Chains A and B, each alone.
Chain A
Amino acid sequence: MLKFTAEHEWLKIDGDVATVGITTHAAEQLGDLVFVELPDVGTSFDKGGDAATVESVKAASDVYSPLDGEIVEVNQAIVDDPSLVNSDPQGAGWFFKLKLKNTADADGLLDEAAYKELVG
């Protein structure tokens, strides 16, 4: 199940674990990333909490936790090579896997059609 947030994150939900990244649109808006900071495995976040940081040449931006949950895995590859997020944001450029506190919360997120409408 693929879901999106209005804050330009995508979630691929498999059971109670969501793989989370930023959308193609977000990656384009941010421009070339030069630094990514990911949370520690085991950290819990509330929805909207600052889970990761990305930096372009120009600016730093936060990546929010899209739902309540606990980090169970992070993608070290984007820390080693932040340009992966630009080249494949919705694939190899994923950020972290979040074990959802309540899987039903995902129903409140946007589906792909609704997100596409949002970004035009």
Chain B
Amino acid sequence: MSTARKRQRWAGARAPEDWRAPLNVASDLKKTPLHDLNVSLGARMVPFAGYEMPVQFPAGVLKEHLHTRAAAGLFDVSHMGQVIARARSGDNADAARALESLVPVDVAGLPEGRQRYALFTAEDGGILDDLMIANRGDHFFVVVNAACKEADLAHMQERIGDSCEVTMLADRALIALQGPRAEPVLAELWADIAGMRFMDVRACDLHDADCIVSRSGYTGEDGFEISIPADQAEKVCRHLLDHPDVMPIGLGARDSLRLEAGLCLYGNDINTTTTPVEAALEWAIQKVRRTGGDRAGGFPGADVILGQFASGAARRRVGLKVDGKAPVRPPAKLYSDADGKTEIGHVTSGGFGPSIEGPIAMGYVPVALSAPGTPLFAEVRGKYLPVTVAALPFVPNTFKR
């Protein structure tokens, strides 16, 4: 069995010899506030970013995925970092200015009650993490990836700590309710939810818990992400799960949903070696931060990234539709020829798309080979399988803009 291919025996992310053992024995993995609920729902728990997380529930990845697209899926994403940045001056505009020194994004122009996708960039133009930034009026609320959250916190404290108090919220859970039934389900608890648009952020009471709700997610579906006080998270989730439209969803389906939606997974599709332009994330950099904009540059790696806006990058992240039935998984190599002579890139995410009913992938290819329809080949178990560059997302999003 080749480890290079990341092949595994039956037990998903766990090694074959230990998958019969309860995972929490002699484990220093952290638990989310919803751990007991996840276990009681029959979740298969696996290590992820230092946490014990549900990879799937008894329904299984396929049904969980399709249920989210058809009704509403409830995700525990409490492992993610919830960070507050508050200006020491008391003026939120100062916090916006400080954050703009870390991200190539229009933060100063983000109105109160709105959220925006952002990237922490490095001096060489690479990506340290991707994140959400919400303007909460008297502070900014930032959600970062679990695996990066300690580094992100240190980065923020070091770079903007003089002007902002930067704090990680350790006492809050984070859940996502995603899918076409998410709005009606939440509207039964809080009527105002229907008035929210994509990327709106509001404070609200759900079952007497002080929540922060944003209309956003990581599935391509309309939906909500909800920050809840840790000690009330299980209660809120149990109420949501009582609704017949709501099913608990694990990380397995979270990954297949976001792949179909063409969304990047930090650490796979973007990392310190990929720039926002290479990653096809130009849309995340508003005009005001680009060359010629009022607040152009001023973020780490601006010379590299704005230079790539002007003269292009050598490679680009693209979608790949696999012609046959075999899933193509990272880090499969990509070739321009059927004999594997000319290696041109590699797959960064890939698997089976349950809504597509076939294998899909994303990867990096030279710009000259990045147009949708370009035929390429992916190496899987020594064979060169035909794949075709495809427009992203694979499944159209249903955001309520």
By a beta-carbon cutoff of 8 Å, the part of chain A in contact with chain B is 7-8, 26, 29-32, 34-35, 37, 50, 53, 55-62, 119-120
Contact = CB atoms under 8 A, between A and B. Distances in A.
A119 B9 contact: no
Interface string B50-77: 0000011000111101000000000000
Interface of B: 1, 5-13, 16, 19-20, 55-56, 60-63, 65, 252-253, 255-256, 325-327, 329, 351-352, 354, 359, 381
- Of the candidates B8, B55, B56, B352, the one having the most CB atoms from chain A within 10 angstroms of its own CB is B352
Contacts of B325: 35
A35 B327 contact: yes
Nearest to B55: A58
Nearest to B381: A53
Chain B interface main SS type:
loop
A119 B329 contact: no
27 contacts: A29-B12, A29-B19, A31-B12, A31-B56, A31-B252, A32-B63, A34-B327, A34-B352, A34-B354, A35-B325, A37-B326, A55-B326, A55-B352, A56-B12, A56-B352, A57-B65, A57-B256, A57-B351, A58-B61, A59-B6, A59-B8, A59-B12, A59-B329, A60-B8, A62-B1, A62-B7, A62-B9
Contacts of B20: 119-120
Given A32-B61, A57-B252, A61-B10, 15 more contacts: A8-B10, A29-B10, A30-B10, A31-B61, A31-B62, A32-B62, A35-B359, A55-B352, A58-B12, A58-B55, A59-B13, A59-B329, A60-B5, A62-B7, A120-B20
Contacts of B354: 34, 57
A34 B19 CA distance: 22
A55 B61 CA distance: 12
Contacts of B60: 31-32
Contacts of B326: 35, 37, 55
Contacts of B252: 31, 57-58
Nearest to B329: A60
Contacts of A56: 12, 61, 352
A58 B354 CA distance: 11
Given A29-B11, A35-B352, A37-B326, A58 B19 contact: no
Contacts of B65: 57
Contacts of A30: 10
B9 A61 contact: yes
